A and B are shown apart, each in its own frame.
Chain A
Amino acid sequence: MSAELFSVFYQFADVFAFLILSAAGLAIVFGMMGVINMAHGEFIMCGAYVTVGLVKLGVPLAIAQALAAVTAGLIGVAVEYLVVRRFYKRPLDSLLATWGLSLIVTQSMLLIVGSSITGIGTPEGSFAIGGYTFSTYRLVLFACAVAVLIGLYVTFMKTRFGMMARATMQNAAMARALGARTGRIYAISFGIGAGLAGLCGALYAPTMTLIPTMGATFVVESFVTVVVGGANVLLGTAPAAVFLAIIRMALNASYGQIIGQIGMLFAVILIIRVLPEGISSVLVRRGR
């Protein structure tokens, strides 16, 4: 019995981790700046490629993954400085610009590195409970997702940067008048968002084939989670991921992956019909 229960938890954890890791970066960039980053999938791709590249050079996996996340974050800061910065007053245009960027990056990668490179394989290790065996790495992913959520909470609620970032989020002009360096805060926030995307790619790199268009695999999940969650990262994205993971897990288990994905989309369309501003709007209102 406990084996079955654990199996259900395991499947839930698997989907939950995927949703949180792919959506966290997007949610920050959106929640902080109102910018939807269409190049999000490309930051994920970047993280995955850097990880695999470094591992092939002989760097241990965990260090390669950390370096990949940092690389994506730095690229994110550069992108913010060169492109996104000009568009804070025109959110819809920022979206088009990042989409243009995404097309450039994906297709250039296809031209330069070709359609796929050999992967590195999932780290070995599995354990058995009852009659089932489970891959340890999937649980590592779940732990990482939880760690990301805790890390975000600490960063934005407990640090000086987090306080200034939230102030900037509330009212950029006022925050600037009070001495916050809003330009830098925006750049760092975008960098954190990109870095989290990179982390997502790095963590999933061992589990999937690497192709330049792999970002698209994550894009639907991340957007859908953010849409359902609404603008608030902690109060929105996390509950949305729990909710969607339950739906997805149930459908996956009984009907397979495709129905899982389609069913999740239908659930999302129904949810936004009822809660147009996402789950976080309800939770935030309750909290007041």
Chain B
Amino acid sequence: MFKLLDGSQTLGRGRTFWSCFLVVLAAALIYPVFADSYDVGNFSYFLIWIFMALGLCLMWGYGGMLSFGQTLFFGISGYAYGVLAINMGGGSATIAALVLSIVIAMIAAGILGYFMIWGGINGIFFGIVTLSATLVLAFFLGQTAGPEWHIGPARLNGYNGMKGMDPLAIGDFYIEGSALYYFMVALIVIVYLALRMLVNSRIGNVIVATRENPQRAEMLGYDVRKYQLLTFTIGSGLAGLSGALYTSWGQFITPSSIGLPAAAMPIVWVAFSGRSDLTATLVGSFLLLFGFQTITVYSQQAALVLMGALLLATVMLAPQGFVLGVGKLVADRWTGRRRRGASQALADASRLQPDET
């Protein structure tokens, strides 16, 4: 099991890496003691999106499937949480609503994924179909302003969005403030480690083999489509987790969190970070979300312009991602001459990363 955490599909291995990991984790755990509660709340707010980024990294970087429509599953799950939490009442039922809404997002992903993957949709079309579905959902939800659009007592409210659901709670204890923060950190650690184990397992190797060359994987006896569907469903489930957490955090969700600018965001985070590694995606997305949050305070539009510029700069200057590139540079320096062989192997491994999917 521990071997899987340190496997060859993930960069960052050995004692140095895990010491850094523990230091960062410790810092994250101590943080609320020193920061004021407003900042802690903000922090948990942008941690929400890390799950969607990690899911996209799995699908795009490891599986070679670029979905533009991760906010589709974000939205489905976010709205599902709202509807379920309102209908099922507060308290511990919210946890059930959280789990159920992720399941709903995964079922939606399974159905859409079945049609796309079994239909043989390749790289570019895959993204277009998911994006189209996303825009149609946003458009549809925008039209649901009338009182006839309701599920039980839950009104969808069109562009104004749905509100009035309870936040996450266990019994009478509301998970908010620093409790929510710790909840998020714990979830991120679990998801990160689980994904590391997944990509280093046999399944992960098949997923990567599929990305490299679907025909070859097929020849070796794997039903490529099943693995792609699995990857797509897991990745979308993580987007769903983000969505449900988002709704429960702010107790509202609007169609604008699904539409075009929102849909571009996960792509920017993951592309900037370096899509072919989970750790790079985690670190990069965190940095970008933090930066984005800071700039948004001044102007939402300006922040989005900057995001677009960042995406353009990434593909033009560092197609493999900035964070990944910097990380490799540091790793090479660190290992130095003494272990030139090892870093050479790392460089070779990185050369195996595809330019294209």
Q: Is the CB of B129 within 8 A of A97?
A: no
Tell me which of B75-83, B205-213, B244-252, B312-320 binds A: B312-320
Known: A100-B309, A103-B311, A274-B119. A265 touches B125 (CB 8 A): no
> Which residue of the partner chain, among B128, B135, B356, contacts A36 with CB atoms under 8 Å?
B128
Q: Mostly helix, strand, loop or mixed at chain A's interface?
A: helix
Could you say which of B127, B132, B299 has the most chain A C-beta atoms within 10 Å of its C-beta?
A: B132
Asked if A108 is an interface residue, CB under 8 A from chain B, the answer is yes
Q: Is the CB of A111 within 8 A of B299?
A: yes
Known: A36-B124, A216-B135. A93 touches B305 (CB 8 A): no
Bits for B60-100, please: 1 = Cβ < 8 Å to A, else 0.
00000010000000000000000000000000000000000
Asked if B302 is an interface residue, CB under 8 A from chain A, the answer is yes
Residues in chain B near residue A97, CB distance under 8 A = 311-312, 315-316
Residues in chain A near residue B304, CB distance under 8 A = 103, 106-107
Number of interface residues of B (CB under 8 A): 49
Contacting A at CB under 8 A, from B328-347, are none
Q: Is the CB of A213 within 8 A of B125?
A: no
Asked if A95 is an interface residue, CB under 8 A from chain B, the answer is yes
Asked if B217 is an interface residue, CB under 8 A from chain A, the answer is no
Q: Is the CB of B121 within 8 A of A107?
A: no
Known: A103-B311, A220-B136, A258-B143. A92 touches B357 (CB 8 A): yes
Q: Is the CB of A92 within 8 A of B124?
A: yes
CA–CA, A267 to B133, complex, Å?
Answer: 12
Q: Is the CB of B264 within 8 A of A99?
A: yes
Bits for B249-277, please: 1 = Cβ < 8 Å to A, else 0.
00000000001110010011001000000
Asked if A276 is an interface residue, CB under 8 A from chain B, the answer is yes
Known: A103-B304, A103-B307, A107-B261. A95 touches B132 (CB 8 A): no
Q: Is the CB of A269 within 8 A of B129?
A: yes
> Which residue of the partner chain, among A93, A108, A224, contacts B132 with CB atoms under 8 Å?
A224
Known: A261-B139, A262-B140. A83 touches B308 (CB 8 A): no
Q: Is the CB of A227 within 8 A of B264?
A: no
Bits for A255-288, please: 1 = Cβ < 8 Å to B, else 0.
0011001100100111011101000000000000
Nearest opposing residue in chain B for A224, CB measure: B132
Asked if A91 is an interface residue, CB under 8 A from chain B, the answer is yes
In the assembled complex, how far is the CB of residue A51 from the closest CB belonging to chain B, in whole angstroms?
Answer: 23
CA–CA, A79 to B304, complex, Å?
Answer: 20
In the assembled complex, how far is the CB of residue A39 from the closest CB belonging to chain B, in whole angstroms?
Answer: 10
Q: Is the CB of A276 within 8 A of B119?
A: yes
Asked if A219 is an interface residue, CB under 8 A from chain B, the answer is yes
Nearest opposing residue in chain A for B263, CB measure: A99
Residues in chain A near residue B123, CB distance under 8 A = 91-92
Q: Is the CB of B305 within 8 A of A265?
A: no
CA–CA, A102 to B309, complex, Å?
Answer: 10
Asked if B301 is an interface residue, CB under 8 A from chain A, the answer is yes
> Which residue of the partner chain, among A86, A104, A223, contacts B308 with CB atoms under 8 Å?
A104
Number of interface residues of A (CB under 8 A): 44
Known: A36-B128, A272-B115. A103 touches B66 (CB 8 A): no
Q: Is the CB of A262 within 8 A of B312?
A: no
CA–CA, A108 to B308, complex, Å?
Answer: 10
Contacting A at CB under 8 A, from B291-305, are 299, 301-302, 304-305
Nearest opposing residue in chain B for A91, CB measure: B124
Nearest opposing residue in chain B for A265, CB measure: B136
Could you say which of B66, B264, B315 has the most chain A C-beta atoms within 10 Å of its C-beta?
A: B315
Asked if A87 is an interface residue, CB under 8 A from chain B, the answer is yes
Q: Is the CB of B308 within 8 A of A220?
A: no
Contacting B at CB under 8 A, from A108-127, are 108, 110-111
In the assembled complex, how far is the CB of residue A84 from the closest CB belonging to chain B, in whole angstroms?
Answer: 11
> Which residue of the partner chain, among A100, A258, A269, contacts B311 with CB atoms under 8 Å?
A100
Asked if A61 is an interface residue, CB under 8 A from chain B, the answer is no
Known: A216-B260, A219-B135, A258-B139. A100 touches B310 (CB 8 A): yes
Top 3 closest A-B pairs, CB basis? A103-B308, A100-B311, A100-B312
Write 30 A-B pairs (CB below 8 A) sorted by A numbering: A83-B312, A90-B356, A96-B314, A97-B312, A97-B315, A99-B264, A99-B267, A100-B308, A100-B310, A100-B312, A100-B314, A103-B308, A107-B301, A107-B302, A111-B302, A216-B260, A219-B135, A219-B260, A220-B139, A223-B128, A223-B131, A224-B132, A227-B132, A257-B143, A261-B139, A262-B136, A272-B125, A273-B118, A276-B120, A276-B122
Apart from A36-B124, A220-B132, A227-B128: 15 A-B pairs, beta carbons within 8 A: A92-B356, A96-B271, A96-B315, A97-B311, A99-B311, A100-B309, A104-B308, A216-B260, A220-B136, A224-B132, A262-B140, A269-B116, A269-B129, A270-B115, A276-B120
